[in-house]
Amino acid sequence: MGLLQEVFQQLVNGLALGSIYALIALGYTMVYGIAKLINFAHGDILMLGAFAGFFVLITASAATPILYIVSFVVAMAICAAIGVIMEKTCYKPLRNAPRMNALITAIGLSFFLENGARVFPPIGPNPKQFPTLANVNFNLFGVNISQVQIIVFIVSIGLMVLLNYIVNYTKVGKAMRAVSFDRGAAYLMGINVNRIISFTFAIGSALAAAAGILFSTAYPQVEPYMGIMPGIKAFVAAVLGGIGSIPGAMIGGFILGVAETLTKGFISSQLADAIAFGILIVILIVKPTGILGANVSEKV
């Protein structure tokens, strides 16, 4: 394979990985934009979504496209409900507390979900093989594109387009933007702020569940701690794009995915994580608001 083909191959791999990061980052950025909270338990929602999909897929002897669609629907519905429960029970009581309280609660909730899954008998501590579709590769001008990568692209882009439509062209999306801009004014205008925040958690958690199934399809293994690293990298992607900005989260996810795969392909796979977190450090030094983030001063 020539150098140019190798570059294009790594770009395809990076865009597939970046689209998963973008889906997870959207949850971070939506919750931050609406509730001004960094939900560090978001990566663990990915894990729960992956296991929900896993339990649907093992009901049949072989994974089929129909069963995959069912697994997405079930996992997204379950995780949306979990996201709402998390918000109602853990975050809503702290809404008027110092922001550090909610941040520490998010970290504690993350540990609770990871270790709770570890001792929950149907999940357990040991990794499990995630059912996947038959491995089919397509060759386009010397660049291999797998069936899994095509599924990841289609599902991720479809969900991003759907989210963009909801936020920009629906009544609830207009309410979300109003709450994000000024929660007090939105309340005075008759918007049910509590319902909008719960809806935001539900949408973000559903996207994380979809990302969990896509991640497990690309890397076919599920275990209780699988959400930690993708969750942290998606947080880096959200910061890179400008946390609070939906287009920024998408751009940040793709940039991080491409940077990671190019590092693996041309430098060293052992440096991939270092590059990801190096990008975070550089962004925080050079442009703390991220690529599309607004320059707003606030006290954390």
What is the number of structural domains in the chain? 1
Residue numbers in the chain where pLDDT is lower than 50? 299-300
110 is a domain residue: yes
Q: CA-CA distance, 34 to 37, in Å (whole number)?
A: 8
pTM, 2 dp: 0.89
118 is a domain residue: yes
Residues 206-230: tens digit of each pLDDT: 999 999 998 998 888 999 999 999 9
117 is a domain residue: yes
104 is a domain residue: yes
Q: For position 1, what pLDDT does the model report?
A: 63
94 is a domain residue: yes
CB atoms within 10 A of CB 216: 26
258 is a domain residue: no
Q: For position 205, what pLDDT does the model report?
A: 93
287 is a domain residue: no
298 is a domain residue: no
Residues 40-94: tens digit of each pLDDT: 899 999 999 999 999 999 987 777 888 889 999 999 999 999 999 999 999 989 8
Domain that holds residue 116: 26-226
